[in-house]
Amino acid sequence: MLAVLTPLASSESGGSSFLVSPNLGLMIWTLLAFGVTLVVLNKFAFPAIRDALDKRVKMIDDSIEDAKKAREESDALLAEYRERLKDARVQADEIVARARKAAETHEHDSSEEARAKRAEMLEQTRRDIDAETRRAIEEIRSEVANLTVLATEKVTGRVLTDADQQRLVDEALGELDFSAISGERRN
């Protein structure tokens, strides 16, 4: 209370403001109050504030460290993901290449198989035509032989013996050219 009254008394007596004019008593009390406040703060408040700040700094450092670890882990996972993606693309390209090759092989095999089947069918058709031609020629020869025998019997008016019939048929067939029918050439 003395500190409050002293500035009031000096302001009334001199008429000047106590804040502007230095007063030795006020300075001592102010310094004493500041020192006591500083000691009390050092004893009770500053250690608590320092502990709180230290905890806050430690928490921030831990957070930064955790963030660094998380980033390193995420970078590692990203690198692993990219590597797997690259491997998957390589495998996909290999699968596509194998499928193309298999398709080309299958197409080539199918084409070759179709060619072989066609050639086989053509050969079978040729054999069938040749067999049918031979059978037709044999029928024609038989008909010619029968007609020759009948014509000879009518012309001669007698029945021919087997030997005569054979001789006449051989002569008649020798005169006919069956090579044009069978596709063969006579030499």
The model's pLDDT over 4-45, given as tens digits with 9 standing for 90+, comes to: 445 444 445 555 666 677 788 888 999 999 999 999 999 999
Is pLDDT larger for residue 143 or for residue 177? 143
Could you tell me the CA-to-CA distances from 137 to 7, 122, 130, 134, 173 in Å, in that order?
158, 22, 10, 5, 11
Chain-centre distance of CA 78, in angstroms? 21
Find the DSSP H helices in the chain. Answer: 2-14, 24-40, 46-156, 162-175, 179-182
Q: Is the confidence at residue 67, as pLDDT, over 90?
A: yes
Cα 135 from Cα 130, distance rounded (Å): 9
Structure token pair of residue 127: 């054999």
Closest CA to 10 of 19, 1, 30, 28: 19
Chain-centre distance of CA 4, in angstroms? 90
